[in-house]
């Protein structure tokens, strides 16, 4: 990185305060949904803002600051937390699992997830279902459904093609439906139907 002094120090702080800081709540929420831990989330947000300040010259004023910040946060998360937990790639497993389940569902289980059932579920059940998804699937749902990013913005944040964003989102939603269905039947919502 060359020393491209696009911003004077005073401007840096102004851009930082006006364009970056307003997103702190969304960033914290995203960080918490990824790490599922308050302290880790705090550290992650802090680290993201420090990086944002350090690389502020690569941010163009007036462009999408939120997407830019989310991308830094996501990359920091991968660097810090993924490497540590040397888990096998769970996404592959869950994808296989979801195909398997979707086949068996049609044949064996007669209970479908219904709109009324979803409306009866409370926050905790939905939160738990979301948190139980592997982080890659969780991430696309958070970005799309909670934060309202477009597919194109998500592709940039996640560094993957739009087609992959869409198929991952589709799979994530199917998995979420499966989880909600499990909750619903374990809680006996099935019986509420006539």
Partner 1 sequence: MELEQNQACTELLLLVIDGQATEEQHQELMRHLEECESCREEYLLSKSIKDSLKSHIKINGTPKDLANSIQNKISETASLK
In angstroms, what is the minimal distance from the CB of 41 to partner 1?
8
Q: How far, in Å, CA of 159 to CA of 5, rounded?
A: 27
For 5, the 3-state DSSP assignment is coil
Residue 3 binds to partner 1 (criterion: CB under 8 A): no
In angstroms, what is the minimal distance from the CB of 115 to partner 1?
5
Residue 9 binds to partner 1 (criterion: CB under 8 A): yes
Query: By the 8 A CB rule, do 97 and 166 touch?
Result: no
User: Residues 72, 130, 133, 175: which binds partner 1 (CB under 8 A)?
Assistant: 130
Q: How far, in Å, CA of 56 to CA of 13, rounded?
A: 10
Which two structure tokens, joined as six digits, stand for 48?
């993201």
* Contact characters 85-114, partner 1, x per CB under 8 A: ----------------------------xx
In angstroms, what is the minimal distance from the CB of 93 to partner 1?
23
Q: What are the residues whose beta carbons fall under 8 Å from the beta carbon of 113, sequence distance 6 or more?
A: 177, 180, 181, 184
Residue matched to tokens 């302290």: 39
Residue 145 binds to partner 1 (criterion: CB under 8 A): yes
Kindly calculate the radius of gyration of the chain based on its CA atoms and give it in whole angstroms: 20
Which two structure tokens, joined as six digits, stand for 147?
């934060």
Q: What are phi and psi of 187, to 5 degrees?
A: -95, 0
Segment 164-193, which members bind partner 1 (CB under 8 A)? 166, 169-170, 173, 176-177, 180
Q: Which residues bind partner 1 (CB under 8 A)?
A: 9, 12-13, 16, 21, 24-25, 28-29, 32, 38, 41-42, 45-46, 49-50, 53-54, 113-115, 118-119, 121-123, 126-127, 130, 141, 144-146, 148, 150-151, 166, 169-170, 173, 176-177, 180
């Amino acid at each position: 990185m060359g020393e491209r002094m696009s911003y004077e120090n005073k401007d840096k702080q102004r851009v930082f305060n006006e364009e970056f800081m307003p997103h702190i709540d969304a960033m914290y929420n995203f960080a918490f949904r990824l790490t599922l831990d308050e302290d880790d989330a705090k550290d992650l947000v802090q680290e993201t803002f420090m990086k944002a300040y350090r690389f502020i010259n690569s941010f163009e004023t007036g462009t999408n600051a939120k997407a830019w910040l989310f991308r830094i946060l996501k990359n920091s998360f991968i660097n810090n937390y993924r490497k540590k937990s040397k888990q096998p790639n769970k996404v592959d497993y869950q994808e296989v699992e979801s195909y398997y389940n979707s086949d068996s569902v049609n044949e064996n289980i007669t209970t479908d997830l219904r709109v009324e059932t979803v409306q009866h579920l409370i926050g905790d059940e939905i939160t738990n279902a979301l948190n139980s998804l592997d982080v890659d699937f969780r991430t696309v749902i958070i970005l799309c459904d909670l934060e309202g990013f477009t597919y194109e913005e998500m592709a940039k944040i996640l560094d993957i093609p739009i087609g992959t964003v869409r198929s991952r989102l589709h799979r994530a939603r199917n998995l979420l439906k499966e989880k909600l269905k499990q909750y619903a039947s374990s809680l006996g919502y099935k019986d509420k139907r006539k």
